[in-house]
Amino acid sequence: MMEVEGKAKILNPERLRVLAQKIGHYKGKERKVDDYYTLESMKRYPKKSLRIRKKSGFYEINFKQRGSYSNGVFAKKETEFKVSDVSGFIRLIHDFGFKKWVTKEKYTELYEINKYFHIEINHVKNLGWFVEVEYLCNPKYIEKARKEVADVMKKLDVHKKDIVKEGYTKLLWDKKR
């Protein structure tokens, strides 16, 4: 699957909630704690890493391949799978040389437009409030998804100056430095 996503820093989450409810259906809140692992040196921001997220009853492993960026919207190839024995998985990746380099904690309010298209209002610990518009699609529909993400960002009154190109891990890394 491809993840087509736009993200922006927001100052007024209450206003965004009102706008998001006009576009999508509120699905609830969730706390997400993610540990990131990499094979690369800890002296600079890694180009590649994988994420381990605890879900109810299992762990989800995720990694993304950098893709294209155009007009405030990313398209990245996303691979995700479940692991029931996370300590065994962590022992395995440690054996291959992976090291944990950052933990991200975010609180998400989810608004579903459809099964593959949603809005998240996120509070990321140590970074603040953000809105994400994400569309998961087949690679052949990237441009259609990119246009739909941009349209929703516009309906949410997101301005170009507020768009964030960096991922949360990069923002956390830069803040630590």
Show the domain range for 167: 2-176
Contact 133, 152 (CB under 8 A): yes
pLDDT tens digits, one per residue of 106-145: 999 999 999 999 999 999 999 999 999 999 999 999 999 9
Write the DSSP symbol of residue 57. Answer: T
How many CA atoms within 13 Å lie on the side-chain side of 60? 12
Q: Mean pLDDT throughout 142-161?
A: 96
Q: How many domains does the chain have?
A: 1
CA dist 159 and 24 (Å) reads 20
Residue 23: its H or E element = helix 13-23
Q: What is the pLDDT of residue 55?
A: 83
Inform me whether the pLDDT recorded for 76 exceeds 80.
yes
Residue 75: its H or E element = strand 73-83
Q: Mean pLDDT throughout 149-177?
A: 94
pLDDT tens digits, one per residue of 90-105: 999 999 999 999 999 9
**Is the pTM higher than 0.85?**
yes
Please enumerate, as own/partner, the contacts of 55-60 that have beta carbons within 8 Å and a separation of 24 or more: 55/82, 58/82, 58/83, 58/84, 59/83, 59/84, 59/86, 59/89
Contact 102, 173 (CB under 8 A): yes
Q: What is the pLDDT of residue 71?
A: 85
The amino acid at residue 20 is A
CA dist 105 and 100 (Å) reads 15
- With a CB cutoff of 8 Å and minimum separation 6, the contacts of 116 are 135, 136, 137
The CATH number of residue 40's host domain is 2.40.320.10
Which pLDDT band holds residue 67 (cuts at 50, 70, 90)?
confident
Inform me whether the pLDDT recorded for 147 exceeds 80.
yes
CA dist 12 and 150 (Å) reads 20
